[in-house]
Structure 1
Amino acid sequence: MKGMLLTASLLCLCAGVASAAQTTLTIESWRNDDIKIWRDTIIPAFEKANPDIHVVFSPSAPTEYNAVLDAKLKAGTAGDLITCRPFDKSLELYKAKQLISLNTLPGLQNFDAVAKAAWSTDDSKTTFCVPMASVIHGFLYDKKAFAELGISVPKTEAAFLAALDKIKASGKYVPLVMGTKDQWESATMGYQNIGPTAWSGETGRKGLISGKAQYNKGGFLTAFNSLAKWRPYLAPGYQALAYPDAQNMFAQGRGAIYPAGSWDIGTFRQMNPTLDLGAFAPYTIGSNKCVIDDHPDIGMGINAASKNQAAAKTFLSWVASDAFAQIYANALPGFFPLANVKYTLKDPVAQEFVKWRTQCGKSFRSSYQILSRNANPNNENDLWNASSQLLNGTLTPQAAADMVQKNLASWYAPQKGK
């Protein structure tokens, strides 16, 4: 009897030691819409492979995340893992020594320079967040409408405009579903969608940073000229059409083409599961090779004050793996892992978007790295304003380009006098 009690006591003691040995990691994030996916799918997969590490996903509201995170970091109560917004906000955290360098992290070699740019120092020498996913720009279309009107997927600007003419002539569908009320769509799904092909992707984007390229010359002006051609094909009253209004219009089958980001795939799947959704890449302009806007959206780094950095590195190495990519890409269709690893997508429209990575060059939004560090004027906000005014007919392409360039040159040294 005493032997049995002793054995039971030892078992309890061992269980207690095992429990105490388990490390708990807490993730800070703004993606509170992903709570169920993280808790039911992503975290269980990691914990199954790493039973000695327990992970807690603890998001804040997106609009409050920056302020909440800053307060927690100052108070020493922030989680071990910090979900990183792209570019300047995360760079500020690294410069403040609140994020650590991940240069030696196993798995970081799975990412190319474009993928790491949003979470690296300006000289590209230090990466401080693991790139998790990007969104890709392009066009969604109603396959039923295209079949009905006998339209093929356009690959060139001429074919794109011809398709719009045919749709408009039919009178059955709005050719291009996008409004200008919120402004950002005009730049994000308009100018930044078709622009990278016009300005040769990374060559043009880096040219703006170095001062070799300007918004009112070359490919950047060409993109404004191309965007202006959309105006006759937008919905009646498009100036008052907000982003949710455009989503509703397209989901109801009232429009043929929707300038999009891949993040809208999941939205339309929910809004109208019967919509026969298709996608095509940004059309080419002139003889330029196609370039897609493969825009970095979300990364993850390690809180410099974390006492569990070894476990946190284990988690981030897993985030850089094909196992994570497979789970994440299918749990959130339209958010594409940035790691150069093998994974398969179940959603056919998501498959179409990610296929463009092998067919086209890739870059990201021209205003996001370095060029929007000034509060007023701000390059990103200027592009919203200029692109929406262009589509509203209150600015010509040259005037829109001149406005953006003048404001950038007013504060950014490499562009002064250009």
Structure 2
Amino acid sequence: MTRMLKGLMLATTVLVPAALAGVANAADTALTIESWRNDDLSIWQEKLIPAFEAKNPGIKVTFAPMAPTEYNSAVNAKLEAGTAGDLITCRPFDLSLAMFEKGQLAALNDLDGIKNFSDTAKSAWTTDDGKTTFCVPMASVIHGFIYNKKAFEELKVEVPKTEDEFFALLDKIKTDGNYIPMAMGTKDQWEAATMGYYNIGPNDWKGEDGRKALIAGTQKLTDADWVEPYKTLAKWKPYLGDGFEAQTYPDSQNLFTLGRAAIYPAGSWEIAPFKAQADFEMGAFPPPVKKAGDTCYISDHNDIGIGLNAKGKNPEAAKKFLAWVASPEFATLYANSLPGFFSLNSTAVKMEDPLAQEFVSWRQTCKPTIRPSAAIVGRGKPNLDLEMWRVSANVINGTQTPEQAAEETQKGLDSWYKPAK
């Protein structure tokens, strides 16, 4: 009997704390993040969420990604059914704007930390009138050129700063014959615009000034500043290697990482995979300017943000998480966990990866802008972004002149877009 009582007392001392712990856990506020980025699940689970939870006991966060191709329809269905998580990862521009206009995403103008972002940084998640921001900017991608340092050393060449230097460099690489000067194909079309026209064009249309003038209708795609990048692209053809017209995006990646090409017109998202695949050291340089002393511009394109489900069950806890996402601490953690996806926070982040630091350092000397087809003028049919893909590829292939490309895109824009007066 005594032994039985002792056993019951021991069981009670073990079970009661466990039960109390269960009560405490049950009282935790649970937040769920909806996202399409299933490739960074481990980073959220192992670095980002633990850092937040350590400072916010009582809030438990779950990162719940879906397949990228299914995200748009799936998250919209969840929002309409009232089953979506408290935090919604935001694609840039119109898809997220549509969620806000439906009342699915909450306004974040009064969120702690939202002032840590410039108007350009917030532009992908702000209403057309510029008055309301509805997602916290998380990261952007930067365009430029990645190069094979070994190839440059062998050829005794330096990074070009002007367009004349750039083409002189390409001529020297081509004459040497050991490397394809640039690895880029036109079969998939999107690279011709994304890593071509959108990459080099901001130096001609003066970044945000030109982009906003296009939206306002005070500039047209047939103006000299918008035709000039096509003229430069037309000069790329001799340097892209044999059969570039049939070369796919993965083909171009392989040519560069296998060491067969000296330069790769790039988006910074290539940094991590290239470093995993290439056995040579890489460097990067921004789009060369027309002449020495010109102001340089870079495509620093908003890529991902995060917003508040307007009908979520735990808005106060969710706002705490969003305020943390807006902090320099999150900016540093996120950017260094995903080199090539750069913080949009006004507080500069020191990158641990040298190649990533090279890209982000251009923000100190060049003016950032976003892709001109991304906001407002890209909403209609024909879709300006897709049109620019096609005509950029045609110009490089030599099947369309720069002037014809500009006229075609402007004609398509005129067919549906009427600038606000």
Give the TM bin, normalised by the shorter chain.
Answer: over 0.9
Q: Which residue, out of 360, 378, 399, partners 1:394?
A: 399
The Cα shift of 1:340 comes to 1.1
Q: How big is each residue's C-alpha offset from its partner over 1:359-401, in whole Å with a ceiling of 9 and x where there is no partner? A: 0011010000001111x31100110011000001000111111
Residue 190 (structure 1) aligned to one of 183, 192, 196: 196
**Percent same amino acid among aligned pairs?**
56
| Equivalence for 1:367 | 373
Is structure 2 residue 409 aligned with structure 1 residue 413? no
Sort the Cα spacing of 1:387 and 1:415 in 2 relative to 1 into closer, same or farther, 3 A.
Answer: farther
1:93 counterpart letter in structure 2: M
- Give distance in 2, aligned partners of 1:389 and 1:5: 78
Corresponding letter in the other structure for 2:142:
I
Deviation at 1:74, TM superposition (A): 1.5
Counterparts in 2 of 1:397 and 1:338: CA distance versus 1, 3 Å: same
How far apart in 1 are the matches of 2:219 and 2:156?
A: 41
Contact 1:205–1:366 (CA under 8 A) maintained in structure 2: yes
Q: Secondary structure at the match of 1:56?
A: strand
Deviation of the 1:71 alpha carbon: 1.2
Matching residue within 64, 67, 70 for 2:73? 67
After superposing the two structures, state which structure 1 stretch, 321-330 or 106-115, moved more: 321-330
The residue aligned with 1:245 is 251
Q: CA RMSD in A?
A: 1.7
CA distance in 1, matches of 2:80, 2:18: 39
Residue 97 of structure 1 corresponds to 103
When Rg is computed on C-alpha atoms for both structures, the one with the higher figure is 2
The residue that corresponds to 1:122 in the other structure is: 128
> Which position in structure 2 is the counterpart of 1:78?
84
2:386 aligns to what? 381
Q: In the alignment, which of 22, 44, 50 is matched to residue 50 of structure 2?
A: 44
User: The residue matched to 1:279 in structure 2 has which SS?
Assistant: strand
In 1, distance between residues paired with 2:180 and 2:121?
Answer: 36
8 Å contact from structure 1 (residues 27, 81) kept in 2: yes
C-alpha contact (below 8 Å) 2:141/2:303 kept by paired residues: yes
TM-score between both structures, scaled by the size of structure 2: 0.95
Distance 2:22 2:75 in 1: 33
1:11 offset after TM fit, Å? 4.1
1:40 and 1:319, CA in 2 relative to 1: closer, same or farther beyond 3 A?
Answer: same
CA–CA separation in structure 1 for the residues paired with 2:388 and 2:118? 28
TM-score w.r.t. length of structure 1: 0.96
**Structure 2 equivalent of residue 221 of structure 1:** 227
Using the TM superposition, give the Cα deviation of residue 203 of structure 1 relative to its aligned residue in structure 2, in angstroms.
0.5
1:177 alignment partner, one of 165, 178, 183: 183
Alpha-carbon distance in structure 2 between the residues aligned to 1:238 and 1:16: 62
Contact 1:200–1:288 (Cα < 8 Å) also in 2: no
1:311 paired residue among 317, 327, 333? 317
1:275: Cα distance to partner?
2.0
Alignment length, in residue pairs? 414
1:263 aligns to what SS in structure 2? helix
Per-residue CA shift, 1:88-118, capped at 9, x if unaligned? 0000000000000000000101000000000
Matched with 1:165 is 171
SS at match of 2:141: strand
* 1:246 alignment partner AA: S
CA distance in 2, matches of 1:160, 1:270: 27
Partner of 1:58: 64
Render the CA deviation track for 1:19-63: whole Å, top value 9, x for unaligned.
122111111100011111111111111111112111111111111
- Report the equivalent of 2:155: 149
> Does the 8 Å contact 2:343/2:349 carry over to 1?
no
Q: Which runs of 5+ in 1 are unaligned?
A: none
By how many angstroms is 1:415 displaced?
Answer: 9.7
What is the rounded CA distance, in whole Å, between the counterparts of 1:294 and 1:343 in structure 2? 15
List gaps (5 residues or longer) in structure 2.
1-5
Q: Distance in 2 between matches of 1:116 and 1:348?
A: 27
| Aligned match of 2:297 | 291
Aligned equivalents of 1:127, 1:326: Cα separation in 2: 22
Hey, what's the Cα distance between the residues in 2 that align with 1:7 and 1:251?
62
**Which range moves more in the overlay, 340-349 or 3-12?**
3-12
Alignment CA distance shift 1:54-1:415 (3 Å): closer
Matched to 1:305, the amino acid is: K
Matched residue SS, 2:303: strand
**Quick check: 1:174–1:233 contact (8 Å CA) kept in 2?**
yes
For residue 144 of structure 2, the aligned residue among 121, 138, 142 is 138
Distance 2:242 2:23 in 1: 69
CA distance in 1, matches of 2:420, 2:312: 41
* 2:345 counterpart SS class: coil
Change (3 A) 1:415 1:171: farther
Q: Distance in 2 between matches of 1:135 and 1:145?
A: 26
Structure 2: distance between partners of 1:208 and 1:288: 22
Contact 1:82–1:300 (CA under 8 A) maintained in structure 2: yes
**1:267 corresponds to which letter in structure 2?**
P
SS of match in other structure, 2:284: strand
1:235 aligns with 2:236: no
* Alpha-carbon shift at residue 201 of structure 1 (Å): 0.5
Indicate if the aligned counterparts of 1:409 and 1:415 stay in contact, CA closer than 8 A: no
**Alpha-carbon distance between aligned partners in 2 of 1:319 and 1:363, rounded to the nearest angstrom:** 22
Query: Which has the larger displacement, 226-235 or 124-133?
Result: 226-235
Q: Residues 278-357 of structure 1 correspond to what in structure 2 (within 5 A)?
A: 278-286=283-291, 288-357=294-363
How far 1:7 sits from its partner (Å)? Answer: 7.5
**2:264 counterpart residue number:** 258
Tell me the SS of whatever aligns to 1:168: helix
The answer to whether the 8 A contact 1:198-1:288 is kept is no
| CA–CA separation in structure 2 for the residues paired with 1:318 and 1:80 | 15
CA distance, structure 2, for counterparts of residue 414 and residue 297 of structure 1: 25
Once the two structures are TM-superposed, the CA of residue 218 in structure 1 deviates from its matched residue by 2.4
8 Å CA contact retained: 2:137, 2:304: yes
Aligned residue in 2 for 1:19? 25
